[in-house]
Amino acid sequence: MPAWSFITITAATAFLSTLFMFLLVLLASMRGTQLTRSGSTALFELCVFGLLLVWRVWGPQIRNRVRLWVARLCKWEFWPAWIFYPPVVLYCVWQGIKHHSFSLPAVANLNQKNGGIVGESKIGILSKLMATSPELTAEAFLVEADSAAIRLARISELRLKHGIGMPFVLKPDIAQRGKGFKKIQSLDEAREYLSRVSAPLILQRYVAAPYEAGIFYYRFPGQPKGHILGITRKVFPCVTGDGIRNIRELIGADSRARLIAHTYLKRLGTEAERVIARGEQFRLVEAGNHCQGCEFRDGSELFTRELLDTFDTISQNVRGFFVGRFDVRYWSDDELRQGRNFQIIELNGAASEATHIYDSRNSLWSAYRTLFRQWRTVYAIGAANRRLGFRPPSPYAVWRDWREFATQACEFPLAD
């Protein structure tokens, strides 16, 4: 439960139990030693009875929750952010002290607000990619904030003009970790989405390629060649029907899916009760984000010199971009290795991660080692741009933009 709820309930029960014990002792002292003994015995019996009753009613649920908690604890990729990220935060603080600026990453990319840390416009970077690498970029268009009816008309106009059929993608222009990503299958779905989100949106052509990868790239200012820090294969988990169990039960029976069942079930709603036919596969997530339930695998075997040359060309054509992760959809491993026939669906800035670290086969230390190298590189690129005369914003300005984004993100619907 949320920390404040836990603290409130604990404080209330502690107060009431203390008050009860105080009154019991006070009453016992007035009525004599015998009453004290009988009262203490009765209190003990009452506590034992209460514990047995709780275990009788909620025992199975408690045991399941404990087993699930232990299983998640043993797999660090499912740790909550407040447990996993403190070493990374401390390392970034050290880098800030070393470089005399805590907000230096905000000038790691000069073509994105705050360097891509927070508040950057997705359509801004996608527009540059469409202009410089149109054959490798999934078309995307901005839908300004307005009434739902006007925006629906705008979407219909853009789809007609650019030949975008069903399904298509709607997502907020400013978002992180897949928040608000929606694969739209009908105009009714679009209408419902628009009724919930008032922020500016992106309409993007849906890329029906079977594979997705995240390619973390960086290049220092003034250098013609860059580096690929990591490649992530994104695996979209599915459950296979048996004609008997519903989707909720199939998720509970899957060794990995059950560890993040709350993420899937919250998204599915009542559909989780549907029984799917024997042999039918049901895809649990559409957004290629780990926090949305996508499985990440180390894709280092996809690296080739041809692939790096392609991303060198792409990044050099986007003036002011130096570090971030390209999310791409593609049709075959061989074609991706050759640096062709893929579509960029998003380019994330300095705050993105080399997400291959979340491969369950990786150790916790190897993940931290990669993240330390990543943030060391981000700070070094920011320092290089500072020497060229680009001044980073204040930490307060970055924090203020984060607060503004966090407030706006509350209205975003669950990602597909």
- Model confidence pLDDT, tens digit, residues 130-180: 999 999 999 999 999 888 899 999 999 999 999 999 999 999 888 767 678
pTM of the full structure = 0.80
Q: 54-73 burial, b for 16+ CB within 10 Å, e for fewer? A: eeeeeeeeeeeeeebeeebe
Nearest to 177 by CA among 106, 235, 122, 259: 122
pLDDT, position 48: 73
Q: Which residue has the tokens 């080739």?
A: 304
Query: CA-CA distance, 361 to 77, in Å (whole number)?
Result: 10
- Sheet of strand 342-348, all strands in order from the earlier edge strand to the far edge: 295-298, 227-235, 211-218, 323-330, 342-348
Cβ-proximal residues to 313 (8 Å cutoff; 6+ apart), any chain:
133
Query: What class, spelled out in words, does domain 78-234+291-409 have in CATH?
Result: alpha beta
Domain layout of the chain by residue ranges: 3-74, 78-234+291-409, 239-284
Low-confidence ranges of the chain (pLDDT < 50): none
Residue 213 near residue 328, CB atoms below 8 Å: yes
How much of the chain, in percent, has pLDDT values that exceed 70?
89
Query: CA-CA distance, 234 to 205, in Å (whole number)?
Result: 19
pLDDT, position 286: 78
Residue 412 near residue 197, CB atoms below 8 Å: yes
Query: CA-CA distance, 267 to 124, in Å (whole number)?
Result: 29
- Model confidence pLDDT, tens digit, residues 271-313: 889 999 999 999 888 777 777 788 899 999 999 999 999 999 9
Q: Which one-letter amino acid corresponds to residue 260?
A: I
299 secondary structure, DSSP code = -
